[in-house]
């Protein structure tokens, strides 16, 4: 598969009032065509800087970033603008022009690439249809909800047929339900248009839900990179463990531990799963760690459970959770 982005030994140092701050330290990674690539890290870890090096909104201090083999640093301003037509971006704050209607906003990206007026209108309408907002075409952004604004931003970003979509904390300002809808939309677009998507987030659930591969950024370093399932079920780096195991999970004494992580994505929060499990199967689990927060009245979080030691009982428990629609993954703690 072709590499869309290739980063080699990227450093980024900011100088502010004589003080130096290194936001990215020796980051090397590749992003492949057609994948949904997640970049996760705590706030201030450098992930927003990292994504901005991909379209050169942020100049790097050393190393190289190339897009389909072209070194971005070598591009002249005009060439860079042309390359940016292929690299769209959406933001946490949506960044729509508030004084222009929804459809005028979507048309902007087409106007920039010089699409004639009539085609522009037509294409913008198609894009609004894809994101399900054709009926809001002549409204102003202020009248829309956060989720709708992000949909408009997605329509605007995709109208010029880019090769890549960069998402900078695109769902962080949205509640879990709307986040889910936006992620479903991104997934659909990824599949239908073979669009490469790079997602920056601090939320585990976002990566878990749609990403194929993930890079974990910690204090400007690339702590870990790999397939989402692998990284989440068997995290190697300290940073990854901190993300995967929300609190410090209680370490039970036995060695033959079988741990699973179950994730609530907000839709099943009213169901007392553990109580139901005991009632229906008679099997018991040990809760090692639980992190359930309520956002907009919707429970949202994850749990790490120690399962019974017998293989058969373990299966029963896992199947029980899976049947209930929860995401279950086996995990190991190697501290």
Which residues lie near another protein (CB under 8 A)?
55, 57, 80-85, 87-89, 91, 93, 95-100, 108-109, 111-113, 140-142, 153, 156-157, 160, 166
Cβ(188)–Cβ(202) below 8 Å: no
Closest to another protein by CB, 92 vs 291, is 92
End-to-end CA distance of the chain: 35
Shortest Å distance, C-beta 73 to another protein: 16
Give 194-263 as a DSSP string: --EEEEEES-HHHHHHH-SEEEEEETTEEEEEEEHHHHHHS--SHHHHHHHSSS-----S-SS--EEEEE
Closest to another protein by CB, 169 vs 218, is 169
Shortest Å distance, C-beta 82 to another protein: 7
- Cα→Cα distances 326→62, 249, 262, 285, 301, Å: 44, 20, 6, 16, 11
Shortest Å distance, C-beta 228 to another protein: 26
Shortest Å distance, C-beta 227 to another protein: 28
Helix, strand, or coil here: 333? coil
Closest to another protein by CB, 141 vs 176, is 141
Closest to another protein by CB, 112 vs 278, is 112
Shortest Å distance, C-beta 18 to another protein: 17
Closest to another protein by CB, 116 vs 254, is 116
Shortest Å distance, C-beta 304 to another protein: 37
Give 1-65 as a DSSP string: --EEEEEEEEEEEEEETTEEEEEEEEEEEEEETT-EEEEE--TTSSHHHHHHHTTTSS--SEEEE
Closest to another protein by CB, 168 vs 265, is 168
């Amino acid at each position: 598969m072709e590499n869309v982005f290739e980063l080699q030994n990227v450093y980024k140092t900011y100088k502010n009032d004589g003080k130096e701050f290194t936001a990215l330290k020796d980051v090397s990674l590749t992003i492949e065509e057609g994948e949904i690539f997640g970049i996760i890290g705590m706030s201030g870890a450098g992930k927003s800087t990292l994504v901005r090096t991909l379209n050169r909104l942020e100049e790097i201090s050393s190393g190289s970033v190339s897009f389909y083999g072209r070194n971005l640093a070598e591009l002249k301003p005009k060439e860079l603008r042309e390359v940016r037509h292929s690299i769209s971006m959406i933001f946490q704050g949506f960044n729509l022009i508030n004084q222009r209607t929804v459809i005028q906003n979507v048309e902007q990206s087409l106007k920039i690439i010089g699409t004639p007026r009539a085609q522009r209108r037509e294409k913008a309408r198609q894009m609004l249809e894809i994101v399900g907002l054709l009926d809001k075409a002549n409204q102003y952004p202020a009248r829309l909800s956060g989720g709708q604004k992000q949909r408009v931003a997605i329509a605007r970003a995709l109208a010029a047929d880019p090769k890549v979509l960069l998402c900078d904390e695109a769902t962080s300002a949205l509640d879990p339900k709307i986040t889910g809808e936006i992620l479903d939309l991104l997934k659909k677009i990824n599949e239908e248009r073979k669009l490469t998507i790079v997602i920056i987030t601090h939320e585990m659930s976002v990566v878990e839900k749609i990403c194929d591969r993930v890079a974990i950024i910690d204090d400007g370093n690339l702590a870990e990179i790999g397939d989402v399932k692998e990284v989440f079920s068997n995290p190697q780096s300290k940073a990854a463990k901190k993300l995967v195991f929300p609190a410090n999970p209680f370490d039970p004494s036995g060695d033959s531990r079988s741990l699973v992580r179950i994730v609530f994505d907000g839709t099943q929060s009213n169901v007392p799963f553990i109580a139901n499990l005991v009632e229906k199967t008679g099997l018991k689990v040990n809760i090692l760690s639980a992190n359930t927060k309520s956002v907009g009245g919707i429970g949202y979080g994850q749990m790490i459970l120690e399962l019974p030691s017998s293989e058969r009982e373990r299966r029963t428990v896992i199947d029980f959770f899976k049947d209930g629609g929860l995401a279950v993954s086996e995990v190991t703690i190697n501290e």
